Structure 1
Amino acid sequence: MILTILGWIVFGLIVGFIARALVPGKDNIGILATIGLGILGSVVGGLVFSLFSGRIELSNPLGWIGSIIFAIILLVIYNKVSGRKKLQR
């Protein structure tokens, strides 16, 4: 049980960090928000993209891609709603 929770935290951190790296500009969110972003993106995106392949498992590449894409979408929505990040023109 503890290893599962720790695994989700590490996975969320990795996915959240990748999403923050791919969205242009500086994000002023902390590590806990990054982990939450990654976990939420992983749950939603991983499930949606895994359903396309018919396999729901951690090693499914579509699940990883879906996790990152949905984490990026959530980060962009968060930035728009909170007004924390403005793109420079």
Structure 2
Amino acid sequence: MQVEFESACAAIKQLKRPVSDQDKLLIYSYYKQATQGDCNIATPPDSDAKAKAKWEAWNQNKGMSKMDAMRIYIDKVEELKKNEAG
């Protein structure tokens, strides 16, 4: 699973088409859950919309195992690669 996850991490950087902000948040949230576990940072201030959105996305995965997060991350990257391929 770790090898597939690392491969997906590399593949996401190779995508040619832009990824929607929603997909970026999803990918970020599962990456953080897979690599660090539950969100362990303080809630950012409302004035920092980008940081707040990232924090909320990651925090939604609270309680999810690192393996499940890796699996979902890999599936999402595969989906984006398929969409790019047409």
TM bucket (normalised to shorter chain) is 0.3 to 0.5
Please report the TM-score for the alignment, with normalisation by the length of structure 1.
0.36
Higher helix share: 1
Please report the TM-score for the alignment, with normalisation by the length of structure 2.
0.37
